Amino acid sequence: MYPMKAPKGFEQPCVIYNLLHLDPIRTLETGASDRAVMIYQIDVYDESYKAANTLAISIRDNLVEWVSADVQAVSWTGTSQTIDDTTEVALFRTMMTFVIFASV
């Protein structure tokens, strides 16, 4: 799993995550807080469509169940699939987005 981009010569399957947006929670009473709503994109790449999709489903199922002292809620907001043929080998890509409410 890599933040933002995979290194050269990465192994498959490859998972890349990006923070798309962070919106700090503010209230009229207390102003800024230590919590925020974050939108993450998680991309799964593999030469095999089935492998990329299976890993993406596993990641999704585990993330939506994630609750801890710092993470109050995770919502899966969507998935799209495409093929990335800009490399020597065409890679299947499953892109997922999640909204996470957590302490920052």
pLDDT at 71: 95
Burial of 91 per CB tally in 10 Å (0-12, 13-18, 19+): buried
pLDDT at 90: 87
- Summarize pLDDT for 51-89 with one digit per residue, the tens: 999 999 999 999 999 989 999 999 999 999 998 877 677
Q: Sign (positive/negative) of CA torsion 77, 78, 84, 90?
A: positive
pLDDT at 34: 87
Question: Would the pLDDT of 103 be above 80?
Answer: yes
> Any idea what the CATH number is for the domain that residue 9 is in?
3.30.2000.30
**How many structural domains is the chain composed of?**
1
Which residues span the domain enclosing 76? 2-103
The whole-chain average pLDDT of the chain stands at: 92
